[in-house]
Amino acid sequence: MNKISIIVESILAACVVALFIIFFTVTPGSKKAEVDEVQAMGELMPIAIVNTDSILKHYTLAVEAQDKLMSSYEESTVKLDTKAKTLQKEAETFQRDVLDFQRKVEAGAFLSRERAESEQAKLQKKEQQLMVKQQELENLRQKLSTDFMNQQAALTQQLQDSVQQYLSEMNADGHYHLILNDAVLMNKVAGYDITNEVIEALNARYVKKEIPPKAY
* Tens digits of residue pLDDT in 176-216: 888 888 876 766 666 788 999 999 999 998 876 654 444 43
| pTM of the complete model | 0.64
Nearest to 52 by CA among 212, 198, 201, 200: 198
For the four alpha carbons of 122, 126, 131 and 132, in that order, the dihedral sign comes to positive
Low-confidence ranges of the chain (pLDDT < 50): 1-35, 38, 41-42, 44, 211-216
Three-class SS state of 129: helix
Q: For the purposes of burial, counting CB atoms within 10 Å of the CB of 133, is it exposed (0-12), middle (13-18) or buried (19 or more)?
A: middle
Question: Which pLDDT does position 186 carry in this prediction?
Answer: 65
Three-class SS state of 49: strand
Residues 6 or more apart whose CB falls under 8 angstroms from that of 22 comprise 34, 37, 38, 41, 189
Question: Which pLDDT does position 16 carry in this prediction?
Answer: 38
Question: Which pLDDT does position 25 carry in this prediction?
Answer: 35
Question: Which pLDDT does position 209 carry in this prediction?
Answer: 61
Provide the angle, in degrees to the nearest 10, between the axes of the packed helices 195-210 and 113-170: 110
Question: Which pLDDT does position 106 carry in this prediction?
Answer: 85
